[in-house]
Amino acid sequence: MIKNLLILSLLFCLQVNSQETQILHIDRFDDDKNNWGLTASKKWECTIDSGKLIILNKNDDNWCYFDSENLINLENKAYTEITFDFQIENVLTELGGAGFVFINDKNSKAFERVRLLIRKDITFFDKESWSYPEGSFALDSKFSTPKLEEINTVKIVLNNSKNVEKGKELILFLNNEKVFQSSWPISNFNKVGFLVQGLNKVYYDNLVIKQSEEINFIEDAFDYIFIENKKLLDHNGIEVEELISYIPIELVDNQNILNTKELIKSLRKNNKCTSIETKKVDCNGTQKEMFSFNYGNAVIEFFTDSEKPNPINVNFLDIADLKEFFKIYSNYNSYRYSDENNSNWPSNSWFSIYSLEDSYRAAIWRGM
């Protein structure tokens, strides 16, 4: 009864104090309503008992996580606030700890995550893509963990609104004390979960997820990897060979775009481009020059009267090729899906691709 009154009180206070955000999920772990993948094995166990989600990791040198199948539609929100409690039992190693994980497995060929790990000695956020194990990185600096209590409260604030002050996109509170803030936002995740590192047993409780209704597409930690200290775009495990089966190598790189004159010069030298021609076409009553060529099973064309070609039209004979190309191109460039036929770079919608299924055509825009 007391637990239910606390829930109602929390709901009332948050709805009164904030008109822009709302509580999406509350889980007191009285049951498995959110489908946490409860299991028991030689490596780990996940159970719900006495109003707690309990994760036992039996690996000394590894970590495990369990995510919910029912906590969905969380990605790309302007504001997210997540709170939960945890209690660690059997802290046998200095590497052991508890934490939270943000997961993106929706538009990726492999698992990606941003992890919050709270250890006895240090606490940090890090990003990892299983497509690029060598490309993982910590989100800003690691910091010394404040003294942990028997039961600890965590609050994670993801402020991805347009007017957020730089450096305060990610804020962590531990036991009501602000202990960390970062200029790395976290936005593009579709699942969340709890984790345990080392030979530990962790009790989780009182999970509350609060979000704004407003969506804001931004560049975030999921968009990048670091290899040899160089910041690179995360291509979601897609090799360039997959894209050049549909379009020439000259059209793949969105970061270093050839101007129209140099692009045409390079395409003429590409022996995979055939039936090259320049023709006059009517465009809303005006005659414009169009460059056209065949490439594989597609006809590719663009106007030549601008410094950089926009849009680039890729015309297919088979709608299955169009759908596959749209997906590969979008994920390779870490685009966000506005809908099933439109995706774009999160901070600049002019870098985008449209799937026009009625005409079996993809329209690629690469800036203005």
Give me the sign of the Cα torsion angle 199, 102, 107, 344.
negative
- Round to whole Å and give the CA distance between 173 and 189: 20
**Are residues 64 and 161 located together in one domain of the fold?**
yes
Q: Using omega within 30 degrees of 0 as the cis cutoff, is the peptide bond preceding 346 cis?
A: no
- Round to whole Å and give the CA distance between 309 and 204: 53
126 neighbors 137 (Cβ within 8 angstroms): yes
* 259's tokens: 């101007």
**Are residues 216 and 70 located together in one domain of the fold?**
yes
Q: Model pTM?
A: 0.88
**Are residues 244 and 225 located together in one domain of the fold?**
no
Q: Final residue of a domain: which of 233, 255, 274?
A: 233
Q: What does pLDDT average to in each consecutive run of 10 residues of the chain (368 residues)? A: 45 44 95 96 96 94 93 94 92 76 88 94 94 94 91 97 89 96 95 94 97 95 95 94 96 88 96 95 87 96 92 96 97 93 94 96 91
**Are residues 214 and 308 located together in one domain of the fold?**
no
**Are residues 191 and 296 located together in one domain of the fold?**
no
**What pLDDT shows up at residue 342?**
97
**What pLDDT shows up at residue 89?**
84
**Are residues 139 and 245 located together in one domain of the fold?**
no
**Are residues 249 and 206 located together in one domain of the fold?**
no
155 neighbors 188 (Cβ within 8 angstroms): no
**Are residues 272 and 201 located together in one domain of the fold?**
no
Longest dimension (CA), the chain: 77
**Are residues 336 and 262 located together in one domain of the fold?**
yes
CA 29 vs. chain centroid, Å, equals 27
Cβ neighbours around 50 below 10 Å, total: 9
Q: Final residue of a domain: which of 233, 259, 280?
A: 233
Q: Domain holding 92: CATH number?
A: 2.60.120.560
Smallest CA-to-CA distance from 62 within 205, 197, 252 is with 197
* 337's tokens: 């899906």
221 neighbors 160 (Cβ within 8 angstroms): no
Strand, helix or coil for residue 121: coil
- Amino acid 128 reads E
238 neighbors 230 (Cβ within 8 angstroms): no
**Are residues 223 and 208 located together in one domain of the fold?**
yes
Strands 143-144, 152-159: pairing kind: unpaired
Residue 9 contacts by C-beta under 8 Å, 6 or more apart in sequence? none
Number of domains within the chain: 2
Residue 180 contacts by C-beta under 8 Å, 6 or more apart in sequence? 123, 125, 140, 143, 170, 171, 172
- Round to whole Å and give the CA distance between 138 and 360: 42
55 neighbors 202 (Cβ within 8 angstroms): yes
Label residue 28 left, alpha or beta by phi (over 0 means left) and psi (-120 to 50 means alpha): alpha
Residue 30 contacts by C-beta under 8 Å, 6 or more apart in sequence? 51
Domain encompassing residue 77: 2-233
Cβ neighbours around 103 below 10 Å, total: 20
Q: Final residue of a domain: which of 233, 256, 285?
A: 233
**Are residues 160 and 278 located together in one domain of the fold?**
no
**What pLDDT shows up at residue 19?**
40
**Are residues 101 and 66 located together in one domain of the fold?**
yes
Strands 97-104, 230-233: pairing kind: unpaired
Strands 273-283, 97-104: pairing kind: unpaired
**What pLDDT shows up at residue 94?**
62
